[in-house]
Structure 1
Amino acid sequence: MLDGIVRVNRKVVDELPAFVDPEKDVITVNGKRIHAAGKVYFLLNKPKGVICTNSDPQGRKKAIDIISARERIFCVGRLDIDTTGLIVLTNDSEMANRLTHPRYGLAKTYVARVKGQVSGEQVEKLKKGIWLAEGKTGRASVKILKRSYKESLLEITIQQGLNRQIRRMLAKVELSVKSLKRTKIGKLNARGLGVGKFRTLTKAEIAYLKSYLVSRRS
């Protein structure tokens, strides 16, 4: 840089520190323009046994390993190692921070398979909110998809994202989870996306997420 080969908006930059906005400023080195890395967005149907961090001292398989993108991507929020289903991965840190912030409250839908026959009282408690260590959870949408003596299937939609929230809520009403799957993130769904498979988000889906975040600012 001190050799005068770097220019920002046609002006030579030869002093440090130098601050630029790669999204707006025109940066050239030896006359060649340097472009900011493009934003990428993926939707993964996470299998069981895969973790949602970018590093793991235990060497377990990571969600980013499945996608193997050239860009440095990361998970938007987390699913625990035993939970399957949808998770977004991106290199767009601004969008990721907003999507996981409680203020924006993007709905997430799960299907939980639990032991035994769920009662109406248990469902009502889940709907009204459950007291956890962090405080009382918000209201939830709960539908019984299947109910028998041996097991029940519940569809639960929440707008928070506390650590292992669904599992902890179910434990508080004495329901033991056999399996848990995230089926929707807002309007994004798993249609046509097998377990362990991923795809890029469509332009319409990216626009939907950005529009949602803008609508929740006020």
Structure 2
Amino acid sequence: MARQKRTPRTHRHQPADKAAKRPIRASRSGQGSGSGRRKRPIHADGAQAGRQRLQKVLAAAGVDSRRHCEELIVSGQVAVNGQVVDTLPAFVDPEKDRITVGGRPIRRPQTAYFLLNKPKNVICTSADPWGRRTAVDLVDCPERVFCVGRLDADSTGALLLTNDSELANRLTHPRYEIAKTYEVTLRGRVAGEEIEKLKKGVWLSEGKTARAAVKVLHRTDRLTTLQVVIRQGMNRQIRRTLARLGHKVKSLKRTQIGSITVKGLPLGAYKPLSRRQIEYLRREAGLA
């Protein structure tokens, strides 16, 4: 059997055995993984456009967790274009390849887009080892969606969830300068010169923050409420910036991401984005 030379690749959920060090092998449909004449490696090169790791495609189709999908593969229960694939890493094109598990074709995932008005004490991750409630838990969707960017647990407001990785990357990458609008309530009265500093940028450990648009919504001696628009995404940027200016944030709510506003959506509720909203987002992200 001819082997295909390639540079070994690693995977965070790679099984403990040494199968990942061997090239992908596929047996004929209906044959066991240990008998019969082997065909050439199937999709051993994952660098080609459109190809993804097989276990990732299975998980995205709702078969099971990525780790369990790896177990299904190495146990010989997964076939690609009629050939059983029983070694990892394996790469497939989900748009072109016919993939079956136990003889049944997998369901091709549909792109999904949701807006969630995130409440407090909900974390922006797909799963939490400590059992805390996640944003994904609040969205009832057959597809495996993920959070676009983050809001810390103490913050509320607009959070997008999708399985469109290309759009998610554009919306979060600072190169594309997607505006995020926040409503921030601070303790005490914020002076005009401090607002000017916030507008021009403040030095943090990562560097100086980009210019921000700041508007005073309400101001008394006890509390100040600001509308802050940023096009950058440093970790806890607004809280840290205001702390640098000597002010503690009482509440922080994201009201808008690009053209998508959370206005009218109750706290803790979510809704699918309309076709027009998706088109606007894609246009803002330079994808249309």
The verdict on a shared fold, with TM-score over 0.5 as the criterion, is: yes
Task: Give distance in 2, aligned partners of 1:195 and 1:49.
Answer: 12
What is the match of residue 100 of structure 1? 172
Q: Out of 35, 48, 53, which is 2:125 matched to?
A: 53
The one-letter code sitting in structure 2 at the alignment partner of 1:27 is R
User: Amino acid of the residue matched to residue 282 of structure 2?
Assistant: K
1:129-153: per-residue Cα shift (whole Å, max 9, x none)? Answer: 0100100010000000011111010
| Mapped partners of 1:71, 1:166: distance in 2 | 32
Deviation of 1:20 after TM superposition, in Å, equals 3.6
2:27 matched residue in structure 1? 2
Identity across the alignment (%): 51
Does the 8 Å CA contact 1:117/1:148 hold for their aligned counterparts? yes
Look up the equivalent residue of 1:155 and give its one-letter code.
Q
Give runs of aligned pairs for residues 184-195 of structure 1, distance below 5 A.
184-195=256-267
For the aligned residues, what is the CA RMSD?
2.4
Structure 1 position 59, deviation (Å): 1.6
Residue 68 of structure 1, CA deviation: 3.2
In 2, Cα distance between equivalents of 1:174 and 1:167: 11
2: CA distance between counterparts of 1:115 and 1:151?
5
Aligned counterparts of 1:145 and 1:157: Cα–Cα separation in 2: 13
Q: TM-score, normalised by structure 2?
A: 0.67
Rounded Cα–Cα distance in structure 1 between residues aligned with 2:197 and 2:270: 35
Which structure exhibits the higher relative contact order, with contacts defined as CA atoms closer than 8 Å and separated by 6 or more residues?
A: 1
**Partners of 2:279 and 2:257 in 1: how far apart?**
14
The whole-number CA distance in structure 1 between the counterparts of 2:241 and 2:169 is 24
1:178-212 Cα shifts (integer Å, max 9, x gaps): 10000000110012200000000111111111112
SS class of match (1:126): helix
Residue 109 in structure 1 maps to residue 134 in structure 2: no
Question: Is the radius of gyration larger for structure 1 or structure 2?
Answer: 2
Deviations 1:48-87 (A, max 9, x none): 1110012222221111111132221110010000000000
Correspondence for 1:75 among 141, 147, 157: 147
- Where do residues 111-190 of structure 1 align in structure 2 (5 Å cutoff)? 111-190=183-262
- What per-residue deviation string (whole Å, max 9, x for no partner) do you get for residues 76-127 of structure 1? 0100000000000111122212211111111000000001111100100000
How many residues are aligned here? 212
Question: Which whole-Å CA distance do the structure 2 matches of 1:80 and 1:19 have between them?
Answer: 35
Q: CA deviation at 1:33?
A: 6.6
Gaps of 5+ in 2: 1-25, 31-78
Secondary structure at the aligned position of 1:70 is classed as coil
- Are the structure 2 counterparts of residues 7 and 102 from structure 1 closer, same or farther at C-alpha, using a change threshold of 3 Å? same
Instruction: Compute the displacement of 1:27 (Å).
Output: 2.6
Q: Secondary structure at the match of 1:214?
A: coil
Q: Closer, same or farther in 2 for the Cα pair 1:192/1:138, shift >3 Å?
A: same
Q: Which amino acid aligns with 2:155?
A: T
Question: Secondary structure of the equivalent of 1:143?
Answer: strand
- Compare the two structures and name the one with the higher strand fraction: 1
Alignment correspondent of 1:36:
108
Greater mean deviation of Cα atoms: 81-90 or 69-78: 69-78
Three-state SS of the structure 1 residue aligned to 2:254 is strand
Q: Distance in 1 between matches of 2:249 and 2:93?
A: 47
